[in-house]
Amino acid sequence: MASSPTQRTLALLRKEGWNAEVTEKWIPGANIRKDLWGFIDVLAIRGKEILGVQATSYTNTSTRVKKIEDSDNVAAVREAGIGIHVHGWRKVKHRWQVRIVDCS
C-alpha cells in the first residue's frame, strides 16, 4: 500500500518528536484541497518550535518552494516565527527518501 507524501511527513515528524497534524482540507463540490495559509499541509509543534510543512513528491519540490515564495501569507508566517519546510519524497532502492528545503 502506497502512502501519501503527507502521511510520510507525519510519520517522520512524529518520529523526530514533533506533535504533528494535517491542516490541509478537502472542499467537497469544488473537488479541491486547501492548504493552511495557501501552502501548509502539516503543522507541527515541539517545545517552543512551530513548523509548517508542504509535503510533495521529489519532482515537485522546486514548484512548491516557488509557491511558498509567491504566497501573500509567507511574510506573516515568517514574522510569527513559524518555520517553513518543503518535504519532497522519492523512492530510492525500495526505500523512501526525503529532501527537506527550509523556506523559513
Based on the structure, what is the number of domains in the chain? Answer: 1
Predicted local confidence at residue 26, as pLDDT: 87
DSSP 8-state secondary structure symbol assigned to residue 71: -
| Cα–Cα distance list, 38 to 3, 10, 31, 52, 95 (Å) | 23, 19, 16, 11, 30
| Lowest-confidence pick of 7-11, 28-32, 74-78 | 28-32
- Give residue-wise pLDDT tens across range 18-68: 999 999 888 888 888 899 999 999 999 999 999 999 999 999 999 999 999
- In percent, the amount of the chain with pLDDT more than 70 equals 98
Task: Record the cell numbers describing residue 6, joined without a space.
Answer: 503527507
Q: CATH no. for residue 61?
A: 3.40.1350
Whole-number average pLDDT of the chain: 94
Domain that residue 97 falls in: 5-102
